[in-house]
Amino acid sequence: MKIGELSKQSGVSRDTIRFYEGKEMLTNVSQPFEWNNYKDYGKENVKRIQIIKYLQRFSFKLKEIKELFDQKDANPDKCIDKSEVFKSKLKIIEKEIKELQETRKALLKIIND
Amino acid sequence: MKIGELSKQSGVSRDTIRFYEGKEMLTNVSQPFEWNNYKDYGKENVKRIQIIKYLQRFSFKLKEIKELFDQKDANPDKCIDKSEVFKSKLKIIEKEIKELQETRKALLKIIND
DNA sequence: ATAAACCATGGACTATGGTCGATGGTCAAA
DNA sequence: TTTGACCATCGACCATAGTCCATGGTTTAT
């Protein structure tokens, strides 16, 4: 499918798709026509982009998401231990929460003094 | 005092001082010499920079800190209601904590499914 | 006199996740 | 055929808080 179609189906802008493409996060992107330079994006990319959006909700960086995709692409049969991935992300989130709570405490102390 | 001295007394690098200066967060900066272009930084800037560092610990942005300085500079006698400033910052922090806790919950749910 | 240490300016670079515009080529419908 | 919608690339820009480099002038100490 062309970029406009992928944009519609995935819900992200053309620019964003090109941005992901530049980061090499998409798959099966080809330029199949000799008479123009239009690209064809494999339909798997709809799902890829959904996964990106999903993981971003858990504060995964694009770089991390790309690494997961790369692992999967290099070794399609090997199952990624999602639990581990999420657990390490959980730890980071919990650390951030702790830090913010420290800040909160300090602020409360100032306000109540 | 010259920038090197201010750097020593405030504990931030020359570059950082110039960065703050570019943001117009410093005061009484002059070029008093005719024979060179060295600048003179008023000694109040030591305190300014300490305040910047202090407020940054509570996740104040430089822009916000500058606004506080600007208020004070425009109206030196009027007392800034610090309590209000910190309270509104507290609310933002608490909102961030809440959001992270939501993310944490969602992550836990995924991990435990 | 010469080297080291200091000063100034300006611009590039870091990470993050895009967005926007310019330019130019192509495709589809009226 | 011409207009509008689509496609491509490239580069600039946003916020954030600096850091680092190049270039060139000055001051201080030896």
Q: For an interface test with B, which of A92, A101, A111, A113 has the most B Cβ atoms less than 10 Å from its Cβ?
A: A111
Query: Reduced to 3 states, what is the DSSP secondary structure of residue B40?
Result: strand
Q: Do B111 and A58 touch (CB under 8 A)?
A: no
What's the Å distance between residue A60 CA and nucleotide C18 C1'? Answer: 15
Average pLDDT over residues B7-27: 96
Average pLDDT over residues B24-34: 94
Q: How confident is the model at residue B104 (pLDDT cuts 50, 70, 90)?
A: very high
> To the nearest whole percent, how much of chain A has pLDDT over 70?
100
Q: What's residue A71's pLDDT?
A: 93
Q: Is the pLDDT of residue B13 over 90?
A: yes
Q: What's residue A26's pLDDT?
A: 97
Residues B57-78 have pLDDT tens digits of 999 999 999 999 999 999 989 8
Q: Do A97 and B100 touch (CB under 8 A)?
A: yes
Residues A59-102 have pLDDT tens digits of 999 999 999 999 999 998 998 888 899 999 999 999 999 999 99
Q: Is the pLDDT of residue B37 over 90?
A: yes
Average pLDDT over residues A52-57: 96
In which region does residue B24 sit, left (phi positive, over 0), alpha (psi from -120 to 50) or beta (all else)? Answer: left
Average pLDDT over residues A53-62: 95
Distances (CA, A) of A29 to A8, A42, A45, A95, A100: 17, 6, 9, 38, 42
**Which residues of chain A neighbour B94 with C-beta distances below 8 Å?**
104
Q: Do A111 and B97 touch (CB under 8 A)?
A: no
Average pLDDT over residues B91-108: 94
* Nearest protein residue to nucleotide C27, judged by CA and C1' positions: A36
Question: How close does chain B come to A50, measured CA to CA in Å?
Answer: 17
| C-alpha count within 13 angstroms, C-beta hemisphere, residue B75 | 7
Q: How confident is the model at residue A56 (pLDDT cuts 50, 70, 90)?
A: very high
**Tokens 């020359």 belong to which residue?**
B14
Model's pTM, two decimal places? 0.86
Question: How close does chain B come to A80, measured CA to CA in Å?
Answer: 14
- The full length of chain A comes to 113
Of A86, A100, A110, the CB nearest to B100: A100
Nucleotide nearest to B40 (CA to C1'): C7
Q: What's residue B16's pLDDT?
A: 97
